[in-house]
Structures are given as structure tokens and as C-alpha cells.
């Protein structure tokens, strides 16, 4: 099967860079369109006593746009049709995994590429695993790229 619409979720980590590289290779080889997705989680209002939440959100949005632009330039340089998508989670009941799956469906991707840090044991228990939730819930084929 040739993939024609590949969505890759990035968070700025080395692992997500590896996932992007794999998505880019696949998109180039199969002449597919690439969608680069980044998600920002809004800080809870109860942390407002410690920091300026609005200032933090503005900075997070600015940094997210820079990150997406960087990845978009790499795709364009490789002659891969590309678009970017930035999502801000405002409702604390929504998860990153759920938003990635929704984006995959709404963009009509036929492949989702994500990175995983491969945490196990207590680290995984404390941090959770977006990749694990996606693997259990996604109806689209998923390519998981592990960290080095």
C-alpha cells in the first residue's frame, strides 16, 4: 500500500525529530502529502499564582509555530507537499492521544507516525504513554519510532 496522506505528531524532542525524519522519507518515497501536528496543553488556571498563565501560553504558541515552521521548511526543501496544524488543548478532560487520533481522522491520513520514548516501569506509570493509548485506539495504521 502506498501512503498518500501521512500525519506526523511532533513535540520538539529528539524522538519526535526521528519520527519526522521517517515520515519525511515515507512521504518522499510514496509522493505523499505530509501534515505536521503539534499540540499544546493549556496550563491549569490554578497555577496562575506561580506564573503568568497568559504570558506562558503566548510563549508556548510562539515556540510551537517556530517548531512547525522548522519542520515545514525541511519538508519543502525535500519537495514534499506539507501543511502544519497546531492544536491547543483547553479542556483538561481531553488528552493528547485523543487529539492526535481526531486529527488523523479529520485530515483523512492513511498513516500516522509518532515517536515514543520507550519508558518502562515507574517512569511509564508516572508519565503515561501517548503512543500506547494511540496504538490501542487508532483505526489508522500507526508507525511508532523509538528514541535512540
**Tens-place pLDDT, residues 91-104:** 777 889 999 999 99
Distances (CA, A) of 9 to 48, 101, 135, 146: 29, 10, 14, 13
Cα 76 from Cα 126, distance rounded (Å): 37
Greater confidence (55 vs 37) lies with 37
pLDDT tens column, 40-69: 987 766 665 667 777 888 898 999 999 999
Q: What mean pLDDT is predicted for residues 110-122?
A: 73
The Cα–Cα gap between 5 and 34 comes to: 6
- Region 128-137: what's the mean pLDDT? 80
pTM of the shown model: 0.87
Query: Distance between CA 145 and CA 130 in Å, rounded?
Result: 13
| Res. 85: pLDDT tops 90 | yes
**pLDDT at position 117 over 90:** no
Place of cell 507516525: 113
Whole-number pLDDT of residue 124: 40
Is the pLDDT score of 25 beyond 90?
A: yes
How is the chain split into domains, by residue range? 5-146
Please tell me the class of the 5-146 domain: alpha beta
Amino acid at each position: 500500500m502506498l501512503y498518500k496522506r501521512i500525519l506526523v505528531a511532533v513535540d520538539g524532542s529528539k524522538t519526535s525529530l526521528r519520527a519526522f525524519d521517517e515520515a519525511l522519507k515515507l512521504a518522499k518515497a510514496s509522493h505523499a502529502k505530509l501534515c505536521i501536528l503539534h499540540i499544546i496543553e493549556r496550563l491549569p488556571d490554578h497555577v496562575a499564582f506561580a506564573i503568568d498563565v497568559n504570558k506562558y501560553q503566548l510563549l508556548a504558541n510562539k515556540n510551537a509555530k517556530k517548531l512547525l515552521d522548522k519542520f515545514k521548511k525541511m519538508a519543502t526543501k525535500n519537495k514534499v507537499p506539507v501543511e502544519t496544524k497546531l492544536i491547543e488543548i483547553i479542556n483538561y478532560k481531553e488528552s493528547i492521544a485523543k487529539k492526535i487520533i481526531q486529527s488523523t481522522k479529520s485530515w483523512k491520513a492513511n498513516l500516522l507516525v509518532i515517536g515514543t520514548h520507550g519508558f518502562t516501569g515507574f517512569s511509564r506509570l508516572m508519565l503515561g504513554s501517548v503512543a500506547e493509548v494511540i496504538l490501542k485506539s487508532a483505526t489508522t495504521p500507526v508507525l511508532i519510532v523509538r528514541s535512540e
